[in-house]
Amino acid sequence: MESLCPWRSAEVHFRRHVHHNPQQQQQHGVACLRVQSGHAPGRSRLGKQGSESDSHLDVAPPGAQPAPGRTGEPLSPGLGSPTPHGAESPTADGCWHGVSRIGEYLLVGNVIPGHTCRALHTLSGEELVCKVYDVRNYRDLMEAHYRLAPHRNINPVADILLGDQWAYLLYEASREDLHAYVRSCRHLPEDEAARLFGQVLVAVAHCHAAGVVLRDLKLRKFVFRDTFRTELKLESLEDAFVLSDDGGIKDGGGDDSLSDKHGCPAYVSPEILSTGTGGTYSGRAADMWSLGVMLYTMLVGRYPFQDAEPAALFHKIRRGQFTLPEGLSSRARCLVRSLLRRDPAERLSAQQALEHPWFQEANVGTLVRTSGQREQDIVDQLVPDINSDIMGQAFYG
């Protein structure tokens, strides 16, 4: 049994275990199949940090022929559709509503392809998050996980269940996202912002060093691991782009040119807006601009560039002019400006940003708390509700 580091392999073959459930077979004509795990029931913990050598999983090189399973069945199992569990039948769009069951999990809420729902393990009672994808392209969505080594600040995939039509990816459950937290706090004191933003940078640096560009970076992509809101993790890698290994991409080098325009309007970099058809831009540098927008918003309580009209918003971003309140420390202002530079070549890398003196400055949080801002000024700086604001919508050029 190989030590588990599955995300570095181009092909991961899962052994299946057939659970004979006459009721499910009668309703769907298939047996319920799932990933076999040596951990707690229903879990393979593929993304956990450290060695997970007891999971039943084979790592095969690209192009290798699948070997038979332990009981002789082929790999690449099929899994039936969710079984209604006191819920309605699937609607015309292929969705299930209410409570349904897949393998050893109860799926709570609307099970909609491309969206998330709650998942409860029927034996352990553990709560997870389930995302449903077309089984034909789920491996493309998982490519960034294949490239990256496990990391504490990146949400691991806990289990994968494959069906004839859908793939069910289960992630560890998380708490409030960073956008909601900043909105509830109005803005963060510098000491807290430094602690949280440092974790964001560590996750991004880990991805960039492995040749993974995250593209759609924003506050909402980072969620809290704990109820005390002290530990952050990147919720998902589904929008990431994996660079080619050619040209020394590993360890943060090589060509990271991208041509697609993918992201969120409030966080999109000026070079993406200015790149014409067929033009390219640096993927890592564009990520760093988005991080600059995140840091500004955490410290100030509003986006550096705002407008209800997309055209006006993009004009402000292209100009790259923004203001910083006087209450911020000089080192915080320096870091924000070093990330929000119009010229991508002048921006700090993720690793350089981690070495910035702001993270070593002591008691910086008191500077914001005693900045003397009027209450009305602070209210005006609230982060907009992304459910009703153009700033939180997806951007595709």
Q: Which pLDDT band, with edges at 50, 70 and 90, does 393 fall under?
A: low
What superfamily does domain 178-396 belong to in CATH? Transferase(Phosphotransferase) domain 1 (1.10.510.10)
Catalytic annotation, pick one of 58, 159, 216, 287: 216
Q: What is the predicted pLDDT for the residue at 94? A: 56
CATH 3.30.200.20 in the chain, residue ranges: 6-172
Taking all residues of the chain, what is their mean pLDDT, rounded to a whole number? 74
What value does the mean pLDDT take over residues 267-281? 91
Tell me the per-residue pLDDT of 306-346, one tens digit each, with 9 for 90 and over. Answer: 999 999 999 999 999 999 999 999 999 999 999 999 999 99
Is pLDDT larger for residue 119 or for residue 72? 119
**Do 385 and 213 contact (CB within 8 A), yes or no?**
no
Q: Which pLDDT band, with edges at 50, 70 and 90, does 110 fall under?
A: confident
164 Cα distance to chain centroid: 26
Instruction: Copy the structure tokens of residue 81.
Output: 């559709």
Query: CA 253, CA 268: separation in Å to the nearest integer?
Result: 23
Query: CA 325, CA 347: separation in Å to the nearest integer?
Result: 21
The architecture of the domain spanning 6-172 is 2-Layer Sandwich (3.30)
Q: Which pLDDT band, with edges at 50, 70 and 90, does 246 fall under?
A: low
pTM: 0.71
Q: What is the predicted pLDDT for the residue at 275? A: 85
Is pLDDT larger for residue 140 or for residue 304? 304
Catalytic site residue 216? yes
Side chain identity at residue 66, one-letter code = P
Q: Which pLDDT band, with edges at 50, 70 and 90, does 89 fall under?
A: very low
Query: CA 361, CA 194: separation in Å to the nearest integer?
Result: 9
Q: 3-state secondary structure string, the chain? A: CCCCCHHHCCEEEECEEEECCHHHHHHHCCCEEEECCCCCCCCCCCCCCCCCCCCCEEEECCCCCCCCCCCCCCCCCCCCCCEECCCCCCCCCCCECCEEEECCEEEECCECCCCEEEEEECCCCCEEEEEEEECCCHHHHCHHHHHCCCCCCECCEEEEEECCCEEEEEEECCCCEHHHHHHHHCCCCHHHHHHHHHHHHHHHHHHHHCCEECCCCCHHHEEECCCCCCCEEECCCCCCEECCCCCCCHHHCCCCEECCCEECHHHCCHHHHHCCCCCCEEHHHHHHHHHHHHHHHHHHCCCCCCCCCHHHHHHHHHHCCCCCCCCCCHHHHHHHHHHCCCCHHHCCCHHHHHCCHHHHCCCCHHHHHCCCCCHHHHHHCCCCCCCCCHHHCCEEC
CATH 1.10.510.10 in the chain, residue ranges: 178-396
The residue count of the chain comes to 397
- What contacts 110, CB < 8 A, 6 or more positions away? 95, 96, 97, 117
Tell me the per-residue pLDDT of 115-169, one tens digit each, with 9 for 90 and over. Answer: 889 999 999 999 999 999 999 988 888 899 999 999 999 999 999 999 888 899 9
What value does the mean pLDDT take over residues 211-230? 95
Output Rg (C-alpha) for the chain, integer angstroms.
Answer: 23
